[in-house]
Amino acid sequence: MEYNLLQLAYVGDAVYELEIRDYLIKQNIVKTKELKTISLQFVSATRQAFYLNKLQDKNIFDEEELEILRKGRNVKVNSKPKNCDIITYHHATALEVLIGYLYTSKNIKRIKELIEEIIKIYNEEK
């Protein structure tokens, strides 16, 4: 079955957030408020766009992934971002599209690799 880009973004958003939540609970963070605060450092559109740019700087995407990211950046979104500009929102959507594509392609290993890279970037900033 083939999915459209907005469907891939929808799935990718859920998978990405679940992976981040999994990482956070493995850090033995038990306070809900702290979990929410830290998770926003990963899952907000602004932060997703930031991580995508950092990953691109590392040149870790293959040609197929770069094409999916390009399409994801250019998808017409049905909603207006609340806390960021439209360009940032499109970059965040691109990351979600890629994660959704990898998930629907059953490439969980690659999702885990990308999440690990994002976590490294997060930890380098602290």
What is the model's pLDDT at position 89? 95
- For the annotated catalytic residues, the residue numbers are 13
pLDDT per residue as tens digits for the range 8-26: 999 999 999 999 999 999 9
Count of domains in the chain? 1
- Measured at the CA of 83, the angle between CA 122 and CA 57, to 5 degrees, comes to 35
Domain that holds residue 80: 5-125
CATH at 81: 1.10.1520.10
pLDDT per residue as tens digits for the range 40-87: 999 999 999 999 999 999 999 999 999 999 999 999 887 777 889 999
What is the model's pLDDT at position 118? 98
**Predicted model pTM:** 0.94
> Is pLDDT of 35 > 80?
yes
Helix (H) or strand (E) holding 124: helix 108-125
User: Which of 109, 108, 115 has the alpha carbon at shortest distance from 22?
Assistant: 115
Integer angstrom CA distances of residue 49 from 26, 32, 59, 84: 24, 25, 15, 10
> Is pLDDT of 1 > 80?
no
